[in-house]
């Protein structure tokens, strides 16, 4: 795997890239405090980099990509930047069409990309996706409001919500929380995040929603994967999406919260691999 900085329009994009297959997969990360593309996709990069050209960029305002100063306010304004950033990235890399995988916030970004430039994408995976209407959960409200109490204890709570089985992360919880807190407390990261999700936060859930009429016009094969015990983005959001996306199928995984690609990585890789090969 390699990391590189790529000029995308007015911004710089930090990109993790694995493999050099003919087909490309663009992986879009979620919005946890201190999140980066690598923290979301480290296992998927290794898995799919053996067959594909796997691309995992930090969205603008996250990680090592550009942090605008002053930043836009509210997720709707940021969404315009992210869509343009990712289309520019494909252009710079001379990729005409790519598969898409979007996690949580990244699922909503993927849907907005499909509305903006449907001809640039082939098969699509949405994992615990935003983009459907739902009342904001207490967990998501606290995640987006992390900087109200930006402590290691708060970060540990956030990490616990991502996993169904606390035993899965028990021996690494302190290490993961410290690493994510260090990333989250960088001044430019905090500035961007606080500008994305200012209170009240239900409006940001609403601003990510893709209208039903737009969903019905997305012809792409779509696999939606969701954890049954996801308390951050409840699985009912995926039921809404699968009802309105004309070529969608749903993979609902029990004993799983919001971290399918990490807590259940083998099952995730197996199902996504079969889907991308057109087997399901």
244 is catalytic: no
CA torsion sign for 226, 229, 231, 236 is: positive
Active site includes 88? no
| C-alpha to C-alpha distance for 152 and 180, rounded to whole angstroms | 9
User: Cα separation of 241 and 108, whole Å?
Assistant: 11
Return left, alpha or beta for 91; rule: phi > 0 is left, psi -120 to 50 is alpha, else beta.
Answer: alpha
Q: Could you confirm whether 39 is annotated as catalytic?
A: no
| Of residues 123, 46, 110, the one with CA closest to residue 82 | 110
Token pair of 24 as six digits: 């490309």
Tell me how far apart the alpha carbons of residues 89 and 86 are, in angstroms, rounded to a whole number: 5
Q: DSSP secondary-structure letter at 220?
A: S
Residue 38: name the closest of 20, 65, 11 by CA.
Answer: 65
Number of H helices and E strands in the chain, helices first, is 13, 8
Do residues 139 and 161 lie in contact, with contact meaning Cβ atoms separated by under 8 Å? yes
CA distances from 75 to 159, 184, 189, 226, 265 (A): 22, 18, 15, 23, 29
- β-bridge mates for residue 26, sequence order: 55, 100
As a whole number of Å, the end-to-end CA separation of the chain is 28
Catalytic, out of 29, 230, 238, 264 = 230
Considering the candidates 29, 67, 204, 258, report the single residue annotated as catalytic.
258
- List 104, 192, 238, 257, catalytic entry: 104
| Whole-angstrom distance, CA of residue 227 vs CA of residue 230 | 5
How many Cβ atoms from other residues are within 10 Å of residue 158's Cβ?
Answer: 21
Active site residues: 104, 230, 258
């Amino acid at each position: 795997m390699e990391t590189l900085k790529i000029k995308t329009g007015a911004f710089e994009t930090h990109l993790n890239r694995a493999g050099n297959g003919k087909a490309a997969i663009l992986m879009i990360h979620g919005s946890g405090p201190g999140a980066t593309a690598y923290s979301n996709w480290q296992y998927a990069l290794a898995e799919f980099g053996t067959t594909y050209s796997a691309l995992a960029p930090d969205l603008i305002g996250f990680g090592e990509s550009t942090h605008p100063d002053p930043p836009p306010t509210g997720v709707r304004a940021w969404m315009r930047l992210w869509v343009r950033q990712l289309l520019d990235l494909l252009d710079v890399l001379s990729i005409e069409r790519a598969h898409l995988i979007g996690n949580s916030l990244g699922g909503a970004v993927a849907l907005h990309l499909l509305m903006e430039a449907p001809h640039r994408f082939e098969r699509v995976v949405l994992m615990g996706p935003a983009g459907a209407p739902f009342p904001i959960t207490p967990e998501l409200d606290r995640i987006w409001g992390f900087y109200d109490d930006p402590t290691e204890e708060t970060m540990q709570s956030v990490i616990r919500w991502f996993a169904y089985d606390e035993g899965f992360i028990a021996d690494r919880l302190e290490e993961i929380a410290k690493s994510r807190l260090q990333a989250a407390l960088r001044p430019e990261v905090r500035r961007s995040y606080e500008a994305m999700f200012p209170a009240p936060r239900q409006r940001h859930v609403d601003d990510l929603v893709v209208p039903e009429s737009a969903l019905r016009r997305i012809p792409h094969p779509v696999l939606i994967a969701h954890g049954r015990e996801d308390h951050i983005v409840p699985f009912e959001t995926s039921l809404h999406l699968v009802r309105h996306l004309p070529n969608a199928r749903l993979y609902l995984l029990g004993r799983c919260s919001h971290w399918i690609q990490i807590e259940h990585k083998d099952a995730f890789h197996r199902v996504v691999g079969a889907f991308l090969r057109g087997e399901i």
